[in-house]
Structure 1
């Protein structure tokens, strides 16, 4: 047990990594303020996680919604500090860029990037009151390398990486450590959305076969992906280590997630990817 009774704010706590993390934190005696998207999710999550879980309903895309939630969080904290904000909430979109509509792309960026900023900014006054406060942003291995049919999601995670770097520099003088945790593909409710996206027929037939190949590789990645617990343990390390690394990565494929990203020249990397997918 970490023997803590401190408050942690977790976004996206109703499912996936956010739920698993909230559950783990409560077992470690933390008190979790978890963002959820509607009343039903709030009720269900509260019933499962118990009295140490405090749901707040908000839309992280909407600055006014986030700012209104500050009053509720202030009442929950009751003059206690907020130890950490852990930005987990995110959505995904997969498929050819030619089929990526503006509204879908904009919404994804608002959730994954603008929402992260909205929440982090709104709760700064409560973080600075804590001892060794943290902001932990969940990125992805897709935040440093991208693949065909993953352009929208990867773009958002590249933005998360950049935003986190700036936060780390600007918030240093506030005593806040900013850490990125970047998992590879793991099986969550989001993985079903990825698979469904890739099963859609593209508007341009040239992408039909490459999409099928990409789908097969994605399904294999989910089957062989790292366990949820490995992601949670990295987040806990980022939360509790005295001097955490700027970035913790949970690799799945050394070749895909490291060699393709760090070592090979761009032309070589992109050529290998195109050939693998038949592009």
Structure 2
């Protein structure tokens, strides 16, 4: 049995992973902001302890981490799963500075803040595992997804740097790269696209095309339990793969297009796939 902290555990992938890990008798600290959802997890599932945590608030993170250390008799958790995040979608010129800042404050600086809360104890103990939930969007950028995609590119880079930094100290770093998943995440993105169709008329035609592509992509997306299963495997494996795409297809195909082909060719393919002129 391992002790595992999961951020963003009140919905979607995080909730599915917390419940699945708890069913396997791991001790799970499920962190998030939604008090109702946290109470349901705390009361409804054995082996889950709910943690109130806002990853954008240093004091909130410190208080939550202190509760974990207290529960574990001063020890660091065996695994930290950085899953908290959300997506800002829209034309770059129309999005406010605050939209951009809050996106990075949550998806990037929040991940760093939570990692720093537990990492020193993992390093001193010379054992631990950090699992960062990135995205296929951390490798491939879609039009109008610049804010979200750029944060996931940052998570990829941070994870690579951290993996090399921590290898001599016995702490492992794993990246999970989900593709489209059938969660509320996709519907919230759809709502933003709809908003900008009305509010940014210069881009309306492109956004309508993107809206159709996005809807089809997510309607065929993976079930959250599929991604949760990969997180569980990354927690339990004695020698986890440093990076895994979930599901492997078509996510790996998107990544290969970006990585292996000249930019003009990959741009053309992205434009054809999304239906943009």
Q: Same fold (TM over 0.5)?
A: yes
Cα-to-partner distance string for 1:81-130 (whole Å, 9 max, x where unaligned): 41100001111111211221110111111111100011111012443466
**Are the equivalent residues in 1 in contact too, given 2:88–2:189 (CA < 8 A)?**
yes
CA distance in structure 1 between the aligned counterparts of 2:102 and 2:51, rounded to whole angstroms: 21
Taking structure 2 as the reference length, what is the TM-score of the superposition?
0.92
Q: CA separation in 2, counterparts of 1:136 and 1:245?
A: 11
> Match of 1:266?
263
Aligned to 1:167: 162
Residue segments in structure 1 that go unaligned for 5+ positions in a row: none
Q: Which residue is equivalent to 2:222?
A: 226
1:93 aligns with 2:119: no
Aligned mate of 2:233, from 223, 228, 237 = 237
Question: Is 2:17 the partner of 1:21?
Answer: yes
Q: 203, 209, 214: which one pairs with 1:213?
A: 209
1:179 equivalent to 2:171? Answer: no
Extract structure 1 runs of 4+ deviating beyond 6 A. Answer: none
Number of residues of Structure 1 aligned to a counterpart in Structure 2: 274
CA contact (8 A) 1:83 1:131 kept: no
Aligned counterpart for 1:124 among listed residues 114, 119, 122: 119
Structure 2 vs 1, CA of residues 93 and 130 (structure 1 numbering), >3 Å: closer, same or farther? same
Q: CA deviation at 1:182?
A: 0.3
Residue 225 of structure 1 contacts residue 252 of structure 1 at CA under 8 Å; is this kept in 2? no
Partner of 2:254: 257
Q: 1:166 to 1:226 in 2, by over 3 A?
A: same
* Cα separation, 2, equivalents of 1:266 and 1:179: 28
Q: Which moved more, 1:107-116 or 1:92-101?
A: 92-101
CA distance in 2 between counterparts of 1:224 and 1:156 reads 24
- TM-score (norm. length: structure 1): 0.91
Offset, 1:219:
0.9
1:46 aligns with 2:25: no
Instruction: State the Cα distance separating 1:72 from its structure 2 match.
Output: 1.3
Preserved contact between residue 135 and residue 179 of structure 1 (Cα < 8 Å): yes
Tell me which residue corresponds to 2:66. Answer: 71
State the secondary structure of the residue aligned to 2:10.
coil
Unaligned stretches of 5+ residues in structure 2: none
Deviations 1:140-193 (A, max 9, x none): 000011010111100000000000011101112221000000000101121111
Match in the other structure for 1:30: 26
